[in-house]
Structure 1
Amino acid sequence: MTEPLLRVRDLRVTAPSAEIVRGLSFDVARGEMLAVVGESGAGKSLTARAILGLVPPGMRVSGSVRLDGLELAGAPQRRYRQVRGRRVAFVPQDALSVLSPVHTVGDQLALAARSVRRLSRKAAWECAVAALERVGIPDAARRARAYPHEFSGGMRQRVVIAMATVNDPALVIADEPTTALDPVVQAMILRMLADLREQSGLAVLLVTHDLAVAAAHAERVLVMYAGRQVESGPVKRVLRQPRAPYTGGLIASLPRREAVERRLPVIAGSPPRPGALPPGCAFEPRCPAATHACQALDPQPYDVGDGHLVACHRLGELPGPVTALFQGSA
């Protein structure tokens, strides 16, 4: 089998008072998109930042994170600097957090190119304009001389993606890149990412809370809860035939056109705080299928076939689709 581009094993991110990401393992193949989904507080964004060595001060990363065979977990910052922008790039949720308000977007893209490659100023500028053209910025040569505040939110996000891909990385980690955008612009941004993948073989790790986005654009999905993997596998199989109650609850709560006059099912309660996890399965207090056995041990992922992994003590015992567990919660 071909070695995955990104191989994560037993990833743990520990704060002074709690373990927030708890033994996460997954792969990202070359050219594929893996969507990481779950409620707020599941540890999705922290997982993305841990891969890049960008966790907040005071947090510790352990386990294994191998990018193209190079171990990053626990590595000194100089090793991260060797791969960030070159082999892996980051697209944050808020474009303005990474764009300087006092420099033109062309200057910022040219600087990103020159920081990695030995380019003349003229060549770097041409590279910047080409990157803007690649992400669909109209009249790129002129717009390259504009400042970030002169772009709309969707266009700024395109600029950030252009900056992330200006040096042709193998992997882009995108953390909720379309959250603040309207649905039409969201679709355009995601379509653009798909086009970049087709053109260059780019792999994408997409952090999102939107299952519809995952279903439409990803090949595989990883569902997280309380810092752990609940379910993962081919996106169509996981979202059409979920086996973990938590995944079923997320899917059951999605709006449907045929049920516009009915209240949506919900998952009762709230996710636990990292420092106050219940014993056993972290989802047990909210799970309508939980038994006493669920309070004893945290379930481990089990392969039910075709790379579909499920972490649930009730696996194989629950009748019918697990989404039905939540139909009475409306």
Structure 2
Amino acid sequence: MTGMVPDSGTSDMVPDSGTSDIEPLLRVRDLRIAGPDAELVRGLSFEVDHGETVAVVGESGAGKSLTARAVLGLLPPGLRVSGSVRLDERELRGAPERRYRQVRGRRVAFVPQDALSVLSPVHTVGDQLALAARSVRRLSRRAAAERAVAALERAGIPDAARRARAYPHEFSGGMRQRVVIAMATVNEPALIVADEPTTALDPVVQDRILRMLGEPREGTRPGLLLVTHDLAVAAAHADRVLVMYAGRLVESGPVGPVLRRPRAPYTGGLLASLPGRGATGRRLPSIGGSPPRPGALPPGCAFAPRCPAAADECRQREPQPHEAGDERLVACHRVGDLPDPVTELFEEPA
């Protein structure tokens, strides 16, 4: 990523892919998701390049999971969606279900938080993986079964041929999540969308599973859109990070600069709240208050009521994402006036 380009039709800006001949794998522009009474995602724009991992972070209710499901065309009924979602330069937003079925599993795959939500309890895991393979490829039953075993082996399931004959309840939580990863990758998709895929797992298993998601398959590393509440996970596994608050982008850019030296107060508050950052024996900093409800957003910046640096302008006018150095975007009126690091805003004096 070498620069920023303005998003047509909206004041948001998005990172440039840095090349003129290779288009992004996934390009989202001015995504808006509205319920009956309020907008839940408000003008979000971002890209995922081929082989790149982009982490989407923020508190519960920020719109992270809705964004991920919008890419897959799996939003609940009753929500209105506008904007653009392009995969391989093909527009998906507003496409008929037939077109989504053509890309799900083949070009884009989903890894959910709860493996049991997608695994059938009455079929063996091998049969379920083989069915996933045959749903998008012309394979014999034997070839599909062999492909299923190979996917289980890549996902780290020991004695895969035997375990393929087992049922989901015969696997531990960590092993079930590996099965779901095997199912998501059995057809070597170009993009994997993972929504909190390791929340319930211990850190060692979590790290192994996330590394598996980004491993090259058939010589190509898939793109990964990773939804997580864990900044440590984002720091360890992402190339870029997108921070969301109240349905909007707050800060985005390369994961190292953003998480080492955040520019937006909200990002600084998230980082200041991590255990181990401050001096021992001192009270752990936190962001006061709670995120606003979608139907009751304050005027101006949605974070202003919780922000220690909020000024009159912040309470009157919503900030738009703009370039702030280090190939990043920041939506904050007061970027140039804040302390460096901005985490100091949330830390109590010694």
Equivalent position of 2:84 in the other structure: 64
Matched, 1:139 2:120: no
Deviations along 1:243-290, one digit per CA (max 9) or x if unpaired, are: 000000000000107634322100000000111100110000000000
Equivalent position of 1:41 in the other structure: 61
How many residue pairs end up in the alignment? 330
Deviations along 1:23-62, one digit per CA (max 9) or x if unpaired, are: 0000000001000000011000010001111111100111
Matched, 1:182 2:195: no
Matched, 1:298 2:321: no
Distance 1:197 1:216, change over 3 A: farther
Give the one of 154, 169, 174 matched to 1:149.
Answer: 169
**Identical-pair percentage:** 79
Distance 1:154 1:107, change over 3 A: same
1:328 deviation in Å?
Answer: 2.3
Q: Which amino acid aligns with 2:58?
A: G
Deviations along 1:66-123, one digit per CA (max 9) or x if unpaired, are: 0000001111111111111110000000000000000000000000000000100000
Q: Which amino acid aligns with 1:46?
A: L
Equivalent position of 1:237 in the other structure: 257
8 Å contact from structure 2 (residues 272, 286) kept in 1: yes
Give the one of 95, 106, 109 matched to 1:75.
Answer: 95
8 Å contact from structure 1 (residues 31, 197) kept in 2: no
Structure 1 unmatched ranges of 5 or more: none
Q: Secondary structure at the match of 1:328?
A: coil
Give the one of 120, 125, 139 matched to 1:100.
Answer: 120
Q: Secondary structure at the match of 1:324?
A: helix
Give the one of 22, 28, 32 matched to 2:42.
Answer: 22
Equivalent position of 2:298 in the other structure: 278
Distance 1:205 1:241, change over 3 A: same
Equivalent position of 1:256 in the other structure: 276
1:197 deviation in Å?
Answer: 6.7
Structure 2 unmatched ranges of 5 or more: 1-18
Q: Which moved more, 1:130-139 or 1:196-205?
A: 196-205
Q: Distance in 2 between matches of 1:201 and 1:113?
A: 19
Normalised TM-score (structure 2): 0.92
Matched, 1:9 2:29: yes
C-alpha root-mean-square deviation of aligned residues, in Å?
A: 1.4
1:305 deviation in Å?
Answer: 2.6
8 Å contact from structure 1 (residues 4, 28) kept in 2: yes
Normalised TM-score (structure 1): 0.97
Q: Secondary structure at the match of 1:57?
A: coil
1:185 deviation in Å?
Answer: 1.2
Q: Distance in 1 between matches of 2:168 and 2:44?
A: 37
8 Å contact from structure 2 (residues 194, 224) kept in 1: yes
Equivalent position of 1:109 in the other structure: 129
1:241 deviation in Å?
Answer: 1.2
Matched, 1:167 2:187: yes
Deviations along 1:122-152, one digit per CA (max 9) or x if unpaired, are: 0000000000011111000000000000001
Distance 1:23 1:112, change over 3 A: same
Q: Distance in 2 between matches of 1:300 and 1:314?
A: 12
Q: Distance in 1 between matches of 2:214 and 2:70?
A: 24
